[in-house]
Amino acid sequence: MHDRPGGVTLLIGGAVVTIDEQRRILDPGAVAVENDVILAVDTPESLRAKYPNASEVDLQHTVIMPGLVDSHGHAGHGMTKGIAPGADWLETIAKVYFHGSDDAFWRAESFLSALEHIEYGVTTSLSMTGSQPRVDDPRYAVAAAAGYQELGLRHIVALGPPGGDPPWNYTDVQTNQAHQVDLDGSLATTAAAIDQIHGTSEGRLSCYVGPSSLTNGLDSSGNATDSAVAQMKGVYELANQKGVNIHSHAYKGQISAAAKAFPEILEPRVCLAHCAGITSDEIGIMAETGVSASHGPLTKAYARDRFPVIEALDAGVNVVISTDGSGPDRSFDLLAQGRVAVQLQHVHFQDTFLLPSGKVLEMMTIDAARALGLDSQIGSLEPGKKADIIALDIRTGRMYPRMMLPQRLVFVGSGLDVAFMMVDGRVLMQDRRYDWIDVDSILDEAQRAAEESFARAGVLDALQEHPREWGEVRYQ
C-alpha cells in the first residue's frame, strides 16, 4: 500500500462533482487533501492561492467525484462467478463455501475482489462472508478482509447466522472434520470476528452483524417463528454490545413479521438488501423506522420479485444502489449498474422522467454511505471528510461532447473509466495504473485456490460447459 504524500496535495480536475449539501458542480474544480482528510473544494485558482506550496496531481481531463460506495456484496463470489451454468448455483457454491474452502480460499478471493473494486472505482464496500455467512470460525472472515486491508480500501465484513433453522453444517478442510454450529455459536463467532476486524487498518475495516435473513422463518400465517425471534434478539443484542450496525437480506413478509415480533431490530443503523416483493405496509415501516434498502438491479432476487424502488423513495426510504457482486453473473461495476436501475424503473412505469441522474449518483455515494452509517466520513467531497476520491476520464469518444456531466456519468460511464483513485489520502490508482500491486500474483493465487476448493467440495463438474450452451434457447 502506498504511503500518503506529505503536505497538502491539490487534485486539479476538469470538473468536480461534490455531492455536498449544495450539490455543487465546479467546472473547473479542485480538491485540497492533507493526510487522510479533505481540506477544501473550490476552483483551481482559489486553492492554488490558498495553498501555494502544495503539490499537484493533474486531472484536468477528468471528472472528480466521491469514491463509489457498494453497500451489498458477497465474499467468495469473486471465485464462483459464472460457474454451474444451467444448475442450482446457490447449492453449488454452498458446497464450496461450507465444505471445500480454507483460509487460503478466502484470502485469495479477498485480493481478487479488492483488485476488482479498484478497477471500478469502488472505494468502500460491504460483503457477507459467503452467500450465507460462514460462521464456524472467525478466521474465515478475517481472511476475507485481508485483501481489502493490504490494498488499502475501505471495507465492511458482514457476518452472522445463515438462513434457515440451526444447526448449520460445515467442514474444516484442515482437519477434515465435519461439525455443526447453533445460533449461540454463530453469534460467538461473529463477536470474535468483530473483535479482530472492527476499527483496524486505521479505521478502514469494519465488521457488522450480518444475518443472512432479517426474519429467517415465517409460519403459515406469516408470523416470525420462535427460532426467527430468537435470532433477531441475539443479533440485536450483539450489535448493541459491540456498537456496530446490522446488515441483512429481507424479502416479502419478513419486515412486517419483524415489526410485529421484535420491532426493536428495525432502526436507522439497519440496512436491508434486495427487499424483493415487499408490500406497501412494509415500505411504510421502513420509512418510519429509518431502515435503508440496498437495491441490486441485477440480482436474481429482483428477477424473481420486484423491489418497489420508486414507491419506497417516494415514501422517504433511503434506497441505495448496490451490485450484490460479483457472482454469478455480474461484476462490481457499480456505476454501470446505476443506469440499469434507472432503465428498469423506466420500463416498469413507462415513464422516462423517473430517477434523475443526480439522484442516481447520490444513491451510489452519499445515500449509500448513510445506509452503512458512514455518511459523516465519506460519500461526498466536503472539508473534514475522508479523502476517498475518484476521477473518471471523460476525454473519450463515448463521453463527449463534454456537457451535462451527471447524465454522462450515469448513462454512458463505467467504472472502467476511472483513471484515479484515492482512499484515506493514499493514491491507489493513477492514469489507470496500479503498478504497486502484483496483479499476476493475485490472479494466479485465485486460480489455484479456487481449483483446490472446487475439488475438495466435489463440484469440478460445475466448471464444465453445459451441453445446451450453444444454439439453444434455454439450459433446461
% of residues, the chain, pLDDT over 70: 100
CA distance 185 to 172: 15
| Whether 40 contacts 16, CB under 8 Å | no
Question: Once rounded to an integer, what is the mean pLDDT over residues 292-299?
Answer: 96
What's the confidence (pLDDT) of residue 340?
A: 96
- Report strand pairing: 418-423 vs 389-393: antiparallel
For residue range 140-168, list pLDDT tens digits in order.
999 999 999 999 999 999 999 999 999 99
3-state secondary structure of 156: strand
3-state secondary structure of 422: strand
The alpha carbon torsion through 35, 37, 38, 40 (nearest 10 deg) reads -80
Average model confidence (pLDDT) for the chain? 96
For residue range 96-141, list pLDDT tens digits in order.
999 999 999 999 999 999 999 999 999 999 999 999 999 999 999 9
Helices marked H in 352-419: 357-363, 366-371, 405-411
In this prediction, residue 6 has a pLDDT band, given cuts at 50, 70 and 90, of confident
For residue range 59-83, list pLDDT tens digits in order.
999 999 999 999 999 999 999 998 9
Q: Which domains does the chain have, with CATH numbers?
A: 8-66+379-430 (2.30.40.10), 68-371 (3.20.20.140)
In this prediction, residue 1 has a pLDDT band, given cuts at 50, 70 and 90, of low
Could you give the count of Cα atoms lying within 13 Å of 186 in the half-sphere of its Cβ?
31
Q: For the chain, report the end-to-end CA distance as a whole number of angstroms.
A: 47
